[in-house]
Amino acid sequence: GDVAVLVPAAGMGVRLGPGGPKALRLLGGQPLLVHAVRRVAAAAGVGCVVVAAPPAEVDAVRALLAGVAPATVVAGGDTRQASVAAALAAVPANFEIILVHDAARALTPPEQVAQVAEAVRAGHDAVIPVLPVVDTIKEVAASGAVVGTVDRSVLRAVQTPQGFRREVLAAAHAAAVDEHTDDAGMVEKLGVTVYCVPGDEAAMKITRPVDLVIAEALLARTLR
Ligand code: CTP
Ligand code: MG
């Protein structure tokens, strides 16, 4: 495989509530990170997985992944962006397609990973999986007064993995001055066109306690 996948997993999971780093929290009895890495490693074309772990958990994460898939584990940083940069620095030079995937999107199907990589291979510099926005979205002033209703038809909710030609991702990280939650946003600032492919509801991000409840139900459905 010519595809390397970076898995930032160093976050604390503050919005999920007490219970330790989010990537190590359990879903169906296994850490979110184990679910995520197993699915990523199973995707067509993937030949390298680099995990950015909480700095205090690097050895524990190595042990955790030993029986799951071959993965390099590095210490993450204070921000997601710093964790991605640390993981990127550990990718061998021969990988030309780099995907960046949140450990928090633990149930992302291997097919979504493969489709993003395929779109990069087909010639797109940067690729993101997206879904339509289902809620009505309003712009609201600090006072609480509605300013207006946004045209939902042009909006998309963005998932991971996000895929890049390696030099595009490296240039975006080298150029970044402020903090971003999303690698494609950094690439957009370079003036590079980012291309969308269809996402999957199973690639939902586990952020709040309710998301863990939904993910447990999704996992039970796929095991049935
Ligand atoms: N992440 C990381 N390094 C950080 C912060 C986040 O590697 N310093 C990772 C998380 O582990 C997660 C992904 O980036 O897999 C998306 O971040 P998010 O969902 O915000 O996770 P947390 O930062 O852990 O959650 P919270 O913001 O609620 O604390
Ligand atoms: Mg966070």
Tokens 């066109």, residue located: 193
CB 19 within 8 A of CB 13: yes
**Pocket probe mutation, ligand 1, options 5, 6, 12, 180, max atoms within 8 Å of Cβ:** 12
Answer whether 55 contacts ligand 1 (Cβ < 6 A). Answer: no
- Answer yes or no: is the ipTM higher than 0.90: yes
Token pair of 127 as six digits: 């690729």
Q: pLDDT tens-digit profile of 7-65?
A: 999 999 999 999 999 999 999 999 999 999 999 999 999 999 999 999 999 999 999 99
Answer whether 15 contacts ligand 1 (Cβ < 6 A). Answer: yes
Residue 20 — left, alpha, or beta (φ > 0 → left; ψ -120 to 50 → alpha)?
left
Cα 8 to middle of ligand 1, angstroms: 7
CB 181 within 8 A of CB 113: no
- Given a cut of 90, whether residue 177 has pLDDT beyond it is no
CB 151 within 8 A of CB 174: no
Answer whether 207 contacts ligand 1 (Cβ < 6 A). Answer: yes
- Residue 8 CA: nearest ligand 1 atom is 7
**pLDDT average, residue stretch 170-179:** 91
Residue closest to 109 by CA, chosen among 47, 32, 36: 36
Cα 76 to middle of ligand 2, angstroms: 13
Token pair of 41 as six digits: 């490693």
- Given a cut of 90, whether residue 179 has pLDDT beyond it is no
CB 51 within 8 A of CB 36: no
Answer whether 179 contacts ligand 1 (Cβ < 6 A). Answer: no
CA separation, residue 21 to residues 16, 37, 41, 60, 159 (Å)? 9, 16, 22, 12, 21
Domain spans of the chain, in order of start: 3-125+159-223
- CATH superfamily placement of domain 3-125+159-223: Spore Coat Polysaccharide Biosynthesis Protein SpsA; Chain A (3.90.550.10)
73 forms beta bridges with 51
**pLDDT average, residue stretch 190-217:** 97
Q: Distance between the two ends of the chain, CA-based, in angstroms? A: 31
181: DSSP letter: S
Answer whether 12 contacts ligand 1 (Cβ < 6 A). Answer: yes
